Amino acid sequence: MVQLQKMALKPKEQLVTRLFLSPKLKQSLNVLSYSTHDLINVVKDLAETNPFVSVKTPKNELQNLDWIGDQGSESLVDHLLSQVRLNSWTGKQKKAVTFLVYNLDQDGYLRADLPVLATQTELLLTDLLKAKKLLQSLEPCGIGGKNLDECLFIQAKQKNKFDETALTLLKNNQLELLAQPELWGESGYSTAELQAALSAIQTLNPTPASEFSSEQTQYLLPDLIYRIEDQRLSVETAQAQIPELVFDEKTFADLKGQSSNEQKEYFLKQKRQYTELKDEIAQRQKTMLRLGKYLGEYQHDFLFSLQKEKIKAIGLKEASQALNLAPSTISRAIKDKYIQCQNKIFSMKILFSRQVVQNISQEKIEAELTKMIVREDAAAPLSDQELVQKFAETGVNLSRRVVTKYRKKLGIANSYARKKT
């Protein structure tokens, strides 16, 4: 007989090292990954939710970009917010209407329930109810309706001598009756009245937002700005684009001095939110500037000429070692970031070109390949193997597969298709 070995549970000691990120460090890394556009929204959100924080709008050339735009492609949100700014409403009313504008759907309807929306903001339900009436007074007429009946009713009220039967049907949410002629006999209206009501309603616009672009205009805001003066390259962060956070110390001290322990804890929490975000923004700008200086030195030739073939190959690992930062930090620092140089704005990732071979970047390979094909004899175009030999003559050893890959990427046909007789 085979005797089965008994299994027993025994305690065992084991030393395991794990790395945990503190909530503060996680938030700091999140701030680093924000684009300038996203960071501006984060700053404004804090100012809206923290009673002691306000923002000081920077004075710079991009301050009023939201007023610039092609009217032919103006979004509904842009159109409505421009009217909100020009109205003589109170600050609270403008804030409430703006909140509702951002909750409209693409057709211009406010389908969300106001009690639900009230739980998502510090505004009261009564504030939103009043704001909805103000929203519905804006152009295009019919904006802010909860459904089709309300949308059309808003428009009908604005018209002189509009059909009374149509007004009553819309007010009572009976629009569907007009689509069911078999029920007209039981409606209490004559056939002539309902036909006249239908004709009147057909003059209204069921989608008041249809004439506007469904996408809101986004502007590229650079995170780093490179300047060339007297053949010298300098870099600076786009700090001027970000609104400055201002904390009301006087109000904070007055309220804290006459409040209960529970209230004090709330006030201190608000100040911590302000302090942490301000410090995280400062750290973000410091990291971006360090990275900007390093890339300015490394990609000096490209930034002066803006010729892609002069981009040097570099990876996240090389940059992280040079700056003594983690590769993940470099990855967050370049995510959704843009640089400005010589009045042009382009993605920061362009400065991180993948190495193909022998410290030669992908852009340089593509540029040289294009030049070779442009200079070839049209009657006897170069095959991929001949292109490999051409590269070898310049000291660059590539396989035919690599040459074929980049030729196809550039949209260049093979030698047979390029041949001209």
Residues 6+ apart with CB under 8 A from 372: 382, 387, 390
For β-strands 224-229 and 338-341, DSSP reports them as parallel
Average pLDDT over residues 278-301: 91
Predicted pLDDT at 383: 87
Angle separating helix axes 316-323 and 327-334, nearest 10 degrees: 110
Count other C-beta atoms under 10 Å from residue 99's C-beta: 20
Contact 87, 94 (CB under 8 A): yes
Predicted pLDDT at 218: 52
Average pLDDT over residues 160-164: 83
For the chain, give every domain's residue range. Answer: 70-216, 355-418
In the block, residue with structure tokens 């409505």: 80
Predicted pLDDT at 106: 81
Average pLDDT over residues 12-31: 60
Residues 6+ apart with CB under 8 A from 395: 358
Predicted pLDDT at 158: 84
Amino acid sitting at position 267:
F
Superfamily of domain 355-418: Homeodomain-like (1.10.10.60)
Query: Which among 298, 341, 338 has a CA at the least distance from the CA of 321?
Result: 298
Amino acid sitting at position 198:
L
259 in helix, strand or coil?
A: coil
Contact 208, 142 (CB under 8 A): yes
Please report which confidence band the pLDDT of residue 293 belongs to, taking 50, 70 and 90 as the band edges: very high
Amino acid sitting at position 209:
A
Contact 294, 319 (CB under 8 A): yes
Predicted pLDDT at 295: 92
Least confident of 3-7, 105-109, 150-154, 277-281: 3-7
- Pairwise CA distance, residues 36 & 19, whole Å: 30
Predicted pLDDT at 65: 35
Highest mean predicted confidence (pLDDT) among 66-70, 278-282, 366-370, 371-375: 278-282
SS3 content of the chain, % helix, strand, coil (to 5): 55, 10, 35
Residues 227-273 have pLDDT tens digits of 988 888 899 888 777 888 888 898 888 888 888 888 888 889 999 99
Count other C-beta atoms under 10 Å from residue 278's C-beta: 17
Predicted pLDDT at 324: 92
Average pLDDT over residues 64-84: 62
Predicted pLDDT at 6: 55
Percent of the chain beyond pLDDT 70? 85
Angular region, 274: left φ>0, alpha ψ -120 to 50, beta rest: alpha
Least confident of 67-81, 128-142, 330-344, 368-382: 67-81
Percent of the chain beyond pLDDT 90? 6
Average pLDDT over residues 47-70: 61
Q: Is 361 exposed, middle or buried (0-12, 13-18, 19+ CB in 10 A)?
A: buried
Count other C-beta atoms under 10 Å from residue 414's C-beta: 13
Average pLDDT over residues 330-348: 85
Average pLDDT over residues 357-364: 69
As a whole number, the mean pLDDT across the chain is 80
Predicted pLDDT at 66: 36
Least confident of 28-32, 56-60, 77-81, 374-378: 56-60
Report CA 273 to chain centroid distance, whole Å.
23
Q: Which two tokens stand for residue 105?
A: 């759907």
Q: Is 303 exposed, middle or buried (0-12, 13-18, 19+ CB in 10 A)?
A: buried
Angle separating helix axes 261-298 and 23-33, nearest 10 degrees: 50
Confirm whether pTM is higher than 0.85. no
Predicted pLDDT at 286: 92
